[in-house]
Amino acid sequence: MINPWSPASWQTKTSTQQPEYPSAKEVTSVCARLEALPPLVSEFEIKKLKAQLAEAQKGQYFLLQGGDCAESFADCKAESITDKLKILLQMSLILTYGLRKPVIRVGRIAGQYAKPRSSPSETQNGIELPSYRGDIVNDVNFTATARQADPERMLSGYHYSALTLNYLRALIDGGFADLQHPESWELDFVKKSPMAQQYLDLAHTIGDAIDYVKTIPGVNAANLQQVDFFTSHEALLLPYEAALTRFSEPHQRWYNLSTHLPWIGMRTAQLDSGHVEYMRGIANPVGLKIGPAMTIEWLIPLIQRLNPDNEAGKIVLIHRFGHEHIAEKLPPLIAAVQKAKLPVLWSCDPMHGNTKNTPSGYKTRYFQDILSELQQAFALHHQCGSFLGGIHFEMTGDDVTECIGGATDVREEDLKSGYKSMVDPRLNYEQALEMAMLIVKKGGGSSF
Ligand code: PEP
Ligand code: CO
């Protein structure tokens, strides 16, 4: 018998990856202030996303989710937000065209501020301090004061999320989606690729297709500029998530109104965890990361607990096995989900199973490994009578050098020149655009 749910019922369970705050009283007071503030998104938007995800579960839509591993407060700037939106829109245009499906765009943005860590502490030169857990918890600098968890940061996280979302909404409503037009694509890099001509042809064909659609009588060109854009983050810091959880009178359900699509990370998905307890009660769609440790005996009850009424559009399973393990790990899980007749959307995160450390101490990922996991994911789903309905990237619109490879041939020795991520390495603008082009070429049987 499962106990009744409330936004606070997670507190009756064990929750890992939570900061140690010096004063519980201060946490309570910050949460009370958060509870009094307006939500960041609405339940009406969330319902729209859930309906689109339900369509994606039937193969009618495709999910593109991407953004920083960890957003930082300092990076809440016009240019950075614009660049992230631009690359997501451009990738979505390539995917829409290549896969012949509408694409659901979801940013890891406007709230991706909390990070799970493999160790609670970090040691440098013999000094041990708490690990950095994301800007909503503590500061990345390696001093005792900076690493002290500070509940006031939850209020800053809320404010930076609101600023980011406000600017995203202004850009989209103001017609920024026009930037989807390939004229504004920075395509110089593709000339270095052996596939240069194919990439340029694709960009021109998309441009022509848009121009053609605009000339069809009855087509309102303004509709082409209209895009839906949704936000997501890992729902890790439970006091924050609970404080932004509100009861919707029109829908008679609880929603997490800090984001449209919260997800549960690999490290906090135990069946009896505080995170699963919290997530089972909200009406948002939820993402669930699944890695090599996931078993059938764990996954099936987990999905059933998170989606007791078998609602369509509710569960996005984001697998992240690594290119060396996906072929062994994925098929049995697909078969088990099929056998249990559970409605899910399968998405592939080809980033988190492919992280490597260079001898010089950088965390990196190889473009080829990422692509290989994705290609295998499309093929394995197909072989199992399933289909891959989404992709999940860590990427940025900036010209960072964090992942190795791609047409511009970022090398290990280049990492030091443009490595900005505070946690995991991201695809840069060119690598992300190229990845989208390779997916429509190799993925899902579609081609250009
Ligand atoms: C992440 O998406 O940043 C992350 C930590 O992923 P995972 O839980 O899959 O390791
Ligand atoms: Co990450």
pLDDT at site 121: 97
pLDDT at 128 over 60: yes
Smallest CA-to-CA distance from 106 within 61, 76, 75 is with 61
Adjacent-strand bridge partners of 248: 253
Q: Say how many CA atoms lie within 13 Å of 437 toward its Cβ.
A: 26
pLDDT at 442 over 90: no
The alpha carbon of 420 and the centre of ligand 2 are apart by a number of angstroms equal to: 13
pLDDT at 57 over 60: yes
- Residue 289 CA: which ligand is closest? 1
Once rounded to an integer, what is the mean pLDDT over residues 117-126?
96
* 213 lies in some domain: no
- Residue 425 CA: which ligand is closest? 2
Range from 93-102, 222-231, 404-413 carrying the lowest mean pLDDT: 222-231
The alpha carbon of 278 and the centre of ligand 1 are apart by a number of angstroms equal to: 18
- pLDDT confidence band for 1 (50 / 70 / 90): low
The alpha carbon of 443 and the centre of ligand 1 are apart by a number of angstroms equal to: 23
Once rounded to an integer, what is the mean pLDDT over residues 295-309?
98
C-alpha to C-alpha distance for 156 and 135, rounded to whole angstroms? 9
Ligand 1, pocket residues at CB < 6 Å: 69, 116, 265-267, 289, 320, 352
* 204 lies in some domain: no
Element housing 391 (H / E): strand 390-394
- pLDDT confidence band for 20 (50 / 70 / 90): very high
pLDDT at site 176: 80
pLDDT in tens, 241-252: 999 999 999 999
The alpha carbon of 431 and the centre of ligand 2 are apart by a number of angstroms equal to: 17
pLDDT in tens, 261-271: 999 999 999 99
User: What is the maximal distance between C-alpha atoms in the chain?
Assistant: 71
State which of 119, 237, 289 you would mutate to test the pocket of ligand 1, scoring each by most atoms of that ligand within 8 A of its C-beta: 289
**Can you tell me which atom of ligand 1 is nearest the CA of 424?**
3
pLDDT at 309 over 80: yes
The alpha carbon of 124 and the centre of ligand 2 are apart by a number of angstroms equal to: 22
* 282 lies in some domain: yes
C-alpha to C-alpha distances, 288 to 9, 261, 262, 265, 297, nearest whole angstrom = 20, 10, 9, 7, 15
| Token pair belonging to 68 | 């920083």
Length of the chain: 448
Once rounded to an integer, what is the mean pLDDT over residues 376-387?
98
pLDDT at site 446: 42
Residue nearest to atom 3 of ligand 1 (CA): 69
**Can you tell me which atom of ligand 1 is nearest the CA of 69?**
3
**Can you tell me which atom of ligand 1 is nearest the CA of 112?**
3
The alpha carbon of 286 and the centre of ligand 1 are apart by a number of angstroms equal to: 14
pLDDT at site 225: 65
State which of 279, 320, 348 you would mutate to test the pocket of ligand 1, scoring each by most atoms of that ligand within 8 A of its C-beta: 320
Residue nearest to atom 6 of ligand 1 (CA): 265
pLDDT at site 221: 67
Once rounded to an integer, what is the mean pLDDT over residues 167-196?
78
Coil vs helix vs strand at 109:
coil
- Residue 318 CA: which ligand is closest? 1
pLDDT at 445 over 70: no
The alpha carbon of 434 and the centre of ligand 1 are apart by a number of angstroms equal to: 23
* 239 lies in some domain: yes
Share of the chain above pLDDT 90, in %: 82
C-alpha to C-alpha distances, 141 to 123, 136, 297, nearest whole angstrom = 13, 14, 41
Once rounded to an integer, what is the mean pLDDT over residues 328-340?
98
pLDDT at 184 over 90: no
C-alpha to C-alpha distance for 175 and 225, rounded to whole angstroms? 6
pLDDT at 447 over 50: no
The alpha carbon of 448 and the centre of ligand 2 are apart by a number of angstroms equal to: 31
**Can you tell me which atom of ligand 1 is nearest the CA of 392?**
2
User: Can you give the CATH number for the domain in which 67 is found?
Assistant: 3.20.20.70
Nearby residues for ligand 2 (ion, Cβ within 5 Å): 69, 424
Q: Please spell the DSSP secondary structure of 257-325, one letter per residue.
A: TT-SEEEE-GGG--TTBHHHHHHHT--S-EEEEE-TT--HHHHHHHHHHH-TT--TT-EEEEE---TTT
The alpha carbon of 248 and the centre of ligand 2 are apart by a number of angstroms equal to: 32
- Residue 322 CA: which ligand is closest? 1
Residue nearest to atom 4 of ligand 1 (CA): 265
C-alpha to C-alpha distance for 279 and 275, rounded to whole angstroms? 6
- Residue 233 CA: which ligand is closest? 1
| Token pair belonging to 259 | 């984001």
Residue nearest to atom 10 of ligand 1 (CA): 266
The alpha carbon of 393 and the centre of ligand 2 are apart by a number of angstroms equal to: 9
pLDDT at 48 over 80: yes
CA 257 to chain centre: 17
pLDDT at site 207: 81
Number of domains in the chain: 1
Domain membership of residue 335 as a residue range: 9-177+225-447
* 291 lies in some domain: yes
**Can you tell me which atom of ligand 1 is nearest the CA of 289?**
9
Once rounded to an integer, what is the mean pLDDT over residues 371-390?
98
**Can you tell me which atom of ligand 1 is nearest the CA of 423?**
3
C-alpha to C-alpha distance for 423 and 435, rounded to whole angstroms? 21
pLDDT at 177 over 80: no
Instruction: Quote the DSSP letter at residue 245.
Output: E
* 109 lies in some domain: yes
Residue nearest to atom 1 of ligand 1 (CA): 69
Q: What does pLDDT average to over the chain?
A: 93
Range from 148-162, 174-188, 258-272, 311-325 carrying the lowest mean pLDDT: 174-188
- Only one residue has tokens 């194919």, namely 198
